[in-house]
């Protein structure tokens, strides 16, 4: 057999990703059964007489109903609710010195990807705006096989060992007796578990922050969470943490807004991703890596194998390696987004695992879950999961096998088939696990280096702005306020007190509780009887970094002001200043943003020039929580707005959620009738007003909007 000695990533045999052979388009086609028989009547079942019973022989009816009865597959046990898109990954800064992964070798190299974003706790039909972690999974169709980076929008996790994952998920999912609440962590079983698991302290701080209520999937960071390994051609290994940095910056909504969006448009994130791609505003992230020499494994005050820890960017900066652009919506949600099967164990040569005990458990779980969810071992043959690198092995048969393997040989070694398929040497792209030396006793124990639970939780809190800290206080009050068992609230405040005493005081004050003088030390819950009392007490190892800008969304140095792809509500009624509406719409388009006309009715509004402007939504079918800013042009019959409670709520909510509000001409009067009128100050940089309708306020409006929200206003609320 002729051996190909070229590095595998330049092997011409590896095709470009092409799913077109699996696509089906019914345009101008006959309706058929699944066996290809043309159907003459799809509206009536076969009956004995037009009023008689249906006949068993009606194979067309039976086939249709049978298929329908089997349309659903089990939803994902976690991350059931999600949305995906196709795109590509392009290398900007190749890193052959760190990895031999073929897709990271040359600048300009492109690899097709499919990304799926998700919430964790809710069922498949739940709201996008739950307070929750967001999944951030990317499947790279590399020429050396599939590589999946299955991460979250939060860089740490709740637990340190995979064996606690089923407990965590049981605790956060709706409670088993009444299946309440849906897609929410604000209930007793979740906080009972968390308050007994101090290792979750760092994660809980992120979950109570606005990171858990993103403005958009396109405005979230992504993280691989665990420390992985890179391995280069010389077989040298480096530790690595993966980061996705969004081009549009990292932004969130506020909690009141999140709850209202959940009612007004539970598909808010799904719609946002879909519409951005349809409009050509392709979501984009940079892929960054924090790379640590193997020799530095023990250098830090935290353990690199502990998934409840970050590496502060002040200690190891993030090197940008490439960018991901999502530029195509799926053709079919079920075929692609629902059937896509990610797995942290899908790696290519040059990327490897560490002994992080959470990662190790994940390496078992993902294939196992697909066997149930996708119905058997051949899920890799589903088009969205197929490798573009050729697949040849001696695995055979199983439910729904698509491939027709030719020949009589399905074993190795064999002489009948020339011993094919042959194993690849390392220089032929063969995957060789990193030969880490392990010399240890078998134990069920946690390393002592995993026992700091509070140091980085405090680092996170110290890195937030005052506004962000305040949001964390309110989130704790909300979540614990929904907990019915007082003992759980108190125990949780005891945990918070070990992170930050001031934070605990504020949370406790909102719940009319006092911070316990001596917090319960629940570490020994769940510990084996022999080890009870021996297990390390949770402790606080102060971080060597006092505050890290990258942990704050508001202070994050990488956030570049832009309004690209944002949506502005242009509030209109009859008589509206036509020039002002058109000027705002064009100014927004120039910034790749969009203005939508909202009025008391659908159809058109009459303008001051006798023209008509089409209305996109009425106040009944829309809400300001679905927009990033509000503009109210002048010239209108204000009664149409001031007498309409939905219109006034629209403006009041925009104010409450710290959005920029532009007001022109006589419309300024509307503000004095709004619920917030008494709180308005001249210092509010987010109220852009001009009494003179001739003046153009678009530039000021856009520049204020680029700051995302006017957080200073919160002091007035």
Q: Check the annotation: does 373 bind a ligand.
A: yes
As separate numbers, helices (DSSP H) first and strands (DSSP E) second, the chain gives 16, 18
Nearer to ligand HDD, 380 or 709 (CB): 380
- Structure token digits, residue 40: 């003459």
CB of 243 to ligand HDD, least distance (A): 13
Distance between CA 274 and CA 698 in Å, rounded?
27
Quick check: is 79 catalytic? yes
158 backbone dihedrals φ, ψ, rounded to 5°: -70, -35
Binding site for ligand HDD (CB under 6 A): 76-79, 82, 116, 118, 135, 137, 150-152, 157, 162, 165, 225-226, 307, 340-342, 358, 361-362, 365-366, 369
In DSSP terms, 605 is beta-bridged to 613
Q: Check the annotation: does 17 bind a ligand.
A: no
CB of 343 to ligand HDD, least distance (A): 7
Nearer to ligand HDD, 80 or 605 (CB): 80
CB of 155 to ligand HDD, least distance (A): 9
Handedness of CA 294, 295, 300, 306 (dihedral sign): positive
Distance between CA 635 and CA 319 in Å, rounded?
53
Reported as half-sphere exposure (CB side, CA atoms, 13 A), residue 490 has a value of 11
Q: Check the annotation: does 165 bind a ligand.
A: yes
Q: Name the CA dihedral angle for 571, 574, 580, 585, rounded to a multiple of 10 degrees.
A: 50
CB of 288 to ligand HDD, least distance (A): 17
- Structure token digits, residue 26: 């019914």
CB of 267 to ligand HDD, least distance (A): 17
Q: Is 191 helix (H, G, I), strand (E, B) or coil?
A: helix
259 backbone dihedrals φ, ψ, rounded to 5°: -65, -35
Nearer to ligand HDD, 362 or 713 (CB): 362
Strands (DSSP E) found in 259-414: 284-293, 319-328, 351-352
Q: Which of 9, 86, 152, 657 is catalytic?
A: 152
Distance between CA 95 and CA 149 in Å, rounded?
17
Question: Which residue's structure tokens are 């007003």?
Answer: 689
Nearer to ligand HDD, 79 or 585 (CB): 79
Distance between CA 170 and CA 190 in Å, rounded?
8
Q: Check the annotation: does 300 bind a ligand.
A: no
CB of 706 to ligand HDD, least distance (A): 30
Q: Check the annotation: does 366 bind a ligand.
A: yes
Nearer to ligand HDD, 365 or 703 (CB): 365
| CA nearest to 142, candidates 105, 98, 193 | 105
CB atoms within 10 A of CB 334: 11
Q: Which of 79, 343, 380, 453 is catalytic?
A: 79
CB of 198 to ligand HDD, least distance (A): 18
- 160 CB-near residues (< 8 Å, 6+ apart): 199, 306, 307, 308, 357, 358, 446, 450
Answer whether 605's CB lies under 8 Å from 578's CB: no
Nearer to ligand HDD, 157 or 619 (CB): 157
Distance between CA 250 and CA 549 in Å, rounded?
13
| CA nearest to 381, candidates 403, 409, 413 | 403
CB atoms within 10 A of CB 241: 23
Question: What's the per-residue H, E or C state across 307-336?
Answer: CCCCCCCCCCCCEEEEEEEEEECCCCCHHH
CB of 9 to ligand HDD, least distance (A): 26
Nearer to ligand HDD, 157 or 268 (CB): 157
How far is CA 485 from each of CA 110, 174, 474, 516, rounded to the nearest angstrom? Answer: 54, 16, 19, 16
Q: Check the annotation: does 362 bind a ligand.
A: yes
Nearer to ligand HDD, 382 or 687 (CB): 382
CB of 152 to ligand HDD, least distance (A): 4
Nearer to ligand HDD, 159 or 670 (CB): 159
Distance between CA 227 and CA 436 in Å, rounded?
15
CB of 120 to ligand HDD, least distance (A): 8
Nearer to ligand HDD, 365 or 556 (CB): 365
Which residue is nearest to ligand HDD, using beta carbons?
135
Question: What's the per-residue H, E or C state across 601-635?
Answer: CCCEEEECCCCEEECCEECCCCCHHHCCEEEECCC
Of all helices (H) and strands (E), which one includes residue 89? Answer: strand 82-91
Distance between CA 476 and CA 472 in Å, rounded?
6
Q: Which are the catalytic amino acids?
A: 79, 152
Q: Which residues carry a binding-site annotation?
A: 76, 116, 165, 362, 366, 373
Binding-site residue numbers for heme are 76, 116, 165, 362, 366, 373
């Amino acid at each position: 057999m002729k051996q190909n000695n070229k590095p595998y990533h330049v092997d011409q045999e590896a095709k470009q990703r092409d799913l077109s052979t699996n696509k089906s388009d019914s345009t101008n086609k006959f309706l058929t059964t699944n066996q290809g028989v043309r159907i003459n009547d799809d509206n009536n079942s076969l009956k004995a007489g037009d009023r008689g019973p249906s006949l068993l022989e009606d194979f067309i009816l039976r086939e249709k109903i049978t298929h329908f009865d089997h349309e659903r597959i089990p939803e994902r046990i976690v991350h059931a609710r999600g949305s995906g898109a196709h795109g590509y990954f392009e290398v900007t800064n190749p890193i052959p010195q760190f990895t031999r992964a073929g897709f990271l070798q040359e600048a300009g190299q492109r690899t097709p990807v499919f990304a799926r974003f998700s919430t964790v706790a809710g069922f498949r039909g739940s709201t996008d705006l739950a307070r929750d972690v967001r999944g951030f999974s990317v499947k790279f169709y590399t020429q050396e096989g599939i590589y999946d980076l299955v991460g979250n929008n939060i860089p740490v996790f709740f637990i340190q060992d995979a064996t606690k994952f089923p407990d965590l998920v049981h605790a956060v999912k709706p409670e088993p007796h009444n299946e309440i609440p849906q897609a929410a962590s604000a209930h007793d079983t979740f906080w009972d578990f968390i308050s007994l698991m101090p290792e979750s302290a760092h994660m809980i701080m992120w979950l109570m922050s606005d990171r858990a209520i993103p403005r958009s999937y396109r405005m979230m960071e992504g993280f691989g969470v665990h420390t992985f390994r890179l391995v280069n051609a010389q077989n040298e290994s480096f530790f690595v943490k993966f980061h996705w940095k969004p081009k549009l910056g990292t932004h969130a909504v506020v909690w009141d807004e999140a709850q209202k969006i959940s009612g007004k448009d539970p598909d808010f994130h799904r719609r946002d991703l879909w519409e951005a791609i349809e409009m050509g505003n392709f979501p984009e992230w940079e892929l960054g890596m924090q790379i640590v020499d193997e020799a530095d494994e023990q250098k830090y005050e935290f353990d690199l194998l502990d998934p409840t820890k970050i590496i502060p960017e002040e200690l190891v900066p993030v090197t940008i390696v490439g960018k991901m652009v999502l530029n195509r919506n799926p053709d079919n949600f079920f075929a692609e987004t629902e059937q896509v099967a990610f797995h942290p164990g899908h790696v290519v040569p040059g990327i490897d695992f560490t002994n992080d005990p959470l990662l190790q458990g994940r390496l078992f779980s993902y294939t196992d879950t697909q066997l149930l969810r996708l119905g058997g071992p051949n899920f890799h043959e589903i088009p969205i999961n197929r490798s573009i690198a050729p697949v040849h092995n001696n695995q055979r048969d199983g439910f729904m096998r698509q491939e027709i393997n030719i020949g009589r040989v399905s074993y190795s070694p064999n002489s009948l088939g020339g011993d094919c398929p042959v194993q690849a040497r390392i220089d032929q792209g063969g995957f060789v696990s990193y030969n880490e030396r392990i010399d240890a006793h078998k134990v069920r124990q946690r390393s002592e280096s995993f026992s700091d639970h509070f140091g980085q939780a405090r680092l996170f809190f110290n890195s937030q702005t005052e506004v962000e800290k305040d949001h964390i206080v309110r989130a704790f009050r909300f979540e614990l306020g929904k907990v019915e068992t007082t003992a759980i609230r108190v125990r949780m405040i005891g945990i918070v007190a070990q992170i930050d005493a001031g934070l605990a005081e504020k949370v406790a004050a909102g719940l009319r509780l006092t911070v316990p003088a001596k917090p319960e030390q629940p570490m020994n819950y769940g510990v084996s009887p022999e080890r009870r009392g021996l297990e390390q007490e949770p402790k606080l190892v102060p971080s060597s970094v006092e505050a890290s800008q990258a942990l704050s969304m508001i202070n994050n140095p990488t956030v570049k002001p832009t309004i690209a792809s944002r949506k502005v509500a242009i509030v209109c009624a009859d008589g509206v200043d036509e020039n002002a509406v058109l000027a705002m719409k064009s100014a927004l388009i120039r910034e790749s943003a969009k203005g939508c006309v909202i009025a008391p009715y659908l159809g058109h509004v009459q303008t001051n020039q006798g023209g008509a402007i089409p209305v996109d939504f009425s106040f009944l079918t829309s809400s300001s929580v679905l927009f990033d800013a509000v503009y109210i042009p002048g010239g209108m019959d204000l009664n149409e707005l001031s007498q309409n409670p939905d219109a006034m709520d629209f403006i009041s909510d925009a104010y409450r959620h710290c959005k920029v509000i532009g007001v022109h001409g006589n419309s300024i009067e509307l503000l004095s009738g709004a619920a917030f009128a008494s709180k308005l100050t001249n210092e509010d940089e987010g109220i852009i007003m001009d009494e003179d309708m001739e003046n153009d306020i678009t530039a000021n409006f856009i520049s204020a909007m680029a700051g995302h929200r006017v957080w200073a206003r919160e002091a007035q609320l």
